[in-house]
Amino acid sequence: MNIEEYIASGILELYVLDELPATERAEVEQMCEVHKEIRLELSLIENTMGTLALHTAVMPPPALKEKIKTQISASAPKAIEMPTVAPERPFNFAVAASVSVAILASALAFYFYSQWQSTQGQLEVLIAQNQEVADNYQFVNKRLQGLESDLDILSSPDYARIAMNGTENSPQSLATVYWNSHTAEVYLKIQNLKSLSEQQQYQLWAIVDGVPVDMGVFDTSTDLLQMKSVSAAAAFAVTIEPKGGSENPSLETMQVVGTTEV
Amino acid sequence: MQIQEMELVRLLRRKDEKGFEYLYTNYAGALYGVVSRIVIDRDIADELLQDAFLKIYNKIDSFDASKGKLFTWMLNLTRNLAIDKLRSKEMSQRRKSDNVGDSVYKLDRESTPSQEDHIGVRELLNQLDENQKQVMELVYFGGFTQAEAADELQLPLGTVKTRVRSALIYFRKTLDVR
């Protein structure tokens, strides 16, 4: 991985947010020592986080300041005077020997400890990688399950397929309603609808006995959308409404329409 | 009064009162913003700010300037305290991600800005595209780790990471961070 890719991976943001496991932290710190670009980038990320925190500051209640001040001065540890004069003793070979043994044992302990640490580190990296693979798998699997159940509906003979073609407003638009008149379930698949501003949403209508009935609002999506149920409808249509939908359709904004009679 | 970060660290280590005054005046608002967006409840936020200050004082000797800035260290320490609180038993019932958005913004209406150039969180986030906004609401302001946010939004962690990064790059430009 080159430096740009390393920076672009987002690992430095995780470092600054203190969300990395110890081994990866150490890796970032090491990279930092070697590469000036990474040092600069880290400093920029830190400054951005800091600036954001200052921009979104919230004043604490005024009384809190004194309270905290008192608490801090109460908890401040008192310095303890240590005696500095060590009593003199004659040289003792037994003590010297035991000190050497202790030093040797410590050195060995340290050696094994660092070996263990590095194995531990490698294990953590593997666990993290494994987790990432598992996450991705789960994500794909969920998506697949969604698509499978969509496909069941699209291919079911119980669902009538009602193509809604573009109106004069938008001849290119196209959407399809899948309607099961026995269970009253309605699904919507968008083939082509233009994207809307933040303040607007699409709304689906069913025409029942000549009256438009709200079937729910939706945003452009590639998924199959479940809409409200209706057991009898002569036609379906989609209009553009203010976000949240309207009680009555704004007919002049109608984008697509299709009748259920074949 | 402008104190260099290293000077501030030195004052804090000596438990000098000047250090406290400077720390409180310049950072209490930012830290309070962090905790109150995460825990919402005012009393708990007050308690957490006290805990954060105590911890800053007790741990200042372990602060290592070679690993990052003092402000980052304080922000993380504070954020972690708030997240731990949120995960604790007494509060775990109350954490529902579907109201994270509300809580993130709630303070905007109530709080007195402590900075002249204070921008509401909502205003800031509204500058982002929908994807970045969703991720930043959780990660930066809602007290989610990126892994938790990925889980919550059912996105791969890599996607969350890149969205956080692109949002921060956007802020870096608009807020003119150097």
Does the beta-carbon distance from A54 to B30 stay under 8 Å?
yes
Lookup: tokens for B59: 């741990």
Is any Cβ of chain A less than 8 angstroms from the Cβ of B25? no
For the stretch B26-81, pLDDT in tens is 999 999 999 988 887 888 999 999 999 999 988 998 898 888 899 999 999 999 99
Say what the pLDDT of residue A89 is.
61
Which residues does chain A have within 8 Å of residue B113's beta carbon, measured at their own beta carbons? 57, 59
Q: Using the predicted structure, report yes or no on whether residue B25 has a pLDDT greater than 60.
A: yes
Which residues does chain B have within 8 Å of residue A55's beta carbon, measured at their own beta carbons? 115, 117-119, 124, 175
Q: How far is A43 from chain B (nearest CA, A)?
A: 8
Per-residue pLDDT band for B96 (boundaries 50, 70, 90) equals very low
Under 8 Å CB-to-CB from B70, ≥6 apart: which residues?
B5, B8, B9, B63
- Among chain B residues, the shortest Cα distance to A30 is held by B67
Say what the pLDDT of residue A109 is.
87
Which residues does chain A have within 8 Å of residue B68's beta carbon, measured at their own beta carbons? 16, 42, 46
Kindly give the confidence (pLDDT) of every residue in chain A, 262 residues in length, as a single tens digit, with 9 standing for 90 and above: 688 888 888 899 999 998 898 889 999 998 888 898 899 999 999 999 999 898 888 889 999 999 998 888 887 654 444 445 555 566 778 888 888 888 888 888 888 888 888 787 778 778 877 877 888 888 888 889 888 888 888 888 899 999 999 998 889 999 999 999 889 999 999 999 988 888 899 999 999 988 999 999 998 888 889 999 998 899 999 999 999 899 889 888 999 999 987 5
Say what the pLDDT of residue B113 is.
45
**Sign of the torsion angle spanned by Cα atoms B50, B55, B58, B64:** negative
Query: Between A and B, how many residue pairs show a Cβ–Cβ distance under 8 A?
Result: 159
- Residue in this structure with the two tokens 């409404």, named with its chain if needed: A241
Which residues does chain A have within 8 Å of residue B31's beta carbon, measured at their own beta carbons? 53
Nearest to A48 among B53, B157, B168 (CB): B168
Q: In this structure, are residues A239 and A200 in contact, taking their beta carbons and an 8 Å threshold?
A: no
Lookup: tokens for A125: 């990296």
Interface of B with A in 75-134 (CB under 8 A): 75-76, 79-80, 107, 111-115, 117-121, 124
Q: How far is B101 from chain A (nearest CA, A)?
A: 15
Alpha-carbon dihedral B17, B18, B20, B25, rounded to 10 degrees: 140
Say what the pLDDT of residue B115 is.
42
Q: What is the pTM of this model?
A: 0.55
Does the beta-carbon distance from A13 to B67 stay under 8 Å?
no
- Which of A27, A38, A58, A71 has the highest number of chain B CBs within 10 A, making it the mutation to test binding with B? A58
CA terminus-to-terminus distance, chain A: 59
Per-residue pLDDT band for B114 (boundaries 50, 70, 90) equals very low
Say what the pLDDT of residue B139 is.
87
Q: Using the predicted structure, report yes or no on whether residue B1 has a pLDDT greater than 70.
A: no
Q: In this structure, are residues B171 and B177 in contact, taking their beta carbons and an 8 Å threshold?
A: yes
Helix A93-155 to helix B157-174 angle, to the nearest 10 degrees? 100
Buried b / exposed e across B39-59, counting CB within 10 Å, b at 16+? bbeeebbbbbbbbbbbebbee
Q: Using the predicted structure, report yes or no on whether residue B110 has a pLDDT greater than 80.
A: no
Does the beta-carbon distance from A13 to B177 stay under 8 Å?
no
Query: Using CA atoms, how far apart are residues B45 and B37, in angstroms rounded to an integer?
Result: 9
For the stretch A110-148, pLDDT in tens is 888 888 887 877 787 788 778 778 888 888 888 898 888
Say what the pLDDT of residue B111 is.
47
Say what the pLDDT of residue A188 is.
94
Q: How far is B99 from chain A (nearest CA, A)?
A: 19
Which residues does chain A have within 8 Å of residue B124's beta carbon, measured at their own beta carbons? 52, 55-56
Query: Using CA atoms, how far apart are residues A63 and A60, in angstroms rounded to an integer?
Result: 8
Say what the pLDDT of residue B106 is.
54
Say what the pLDDT of residue A228 is.
93
Say what the pLDDT of residue A142 is.
86
**Best CA proximity match to A45, nearest among B119, B34, B168, B33:** B168
- Among chain A residues, the shortest Cα distance to B106 is held by A58
Does the beta-carbon distance from B171 to A52 stay under 8 Å?
yes
For the stretch B129-169, pLDDT in tens is 888 899 998 887 778 888 889 988 999 988 898 889 889 88
Which residues does chain A have within 8 Å of residue B170's beta carbon, measured at their own beta carbons? none
- Among chain A residues, the shortest Cα distance to B158 is held by A9
Look at A79 and B122; give whichever has higher pLDDT. B122
Buried b / exposed e across A83-114, counting CB within 10 Å, b at 16+? eeeeeeeeeeeeeeeeeeeeeeeeeeeeeeee
- Which of A52, A72, A131, A197 has the highest number of chain B CBs within 10 A, making it the mutation to test binding with B? A52
Say what the pLDDT of residue B79 is.
92
Nearest to A58 among B36, B156, B164 (CB): B36
Give the ipTM of the model, two decimals please. 0.85
For the stretch A11-45, pLDDT in tens is 999 999 988 988 899 999 988 888 988 999 999 99
**CA distances to A168, A181, A215, A255, B24 from A205, in Å:** 18, 15, 5, 11, 58
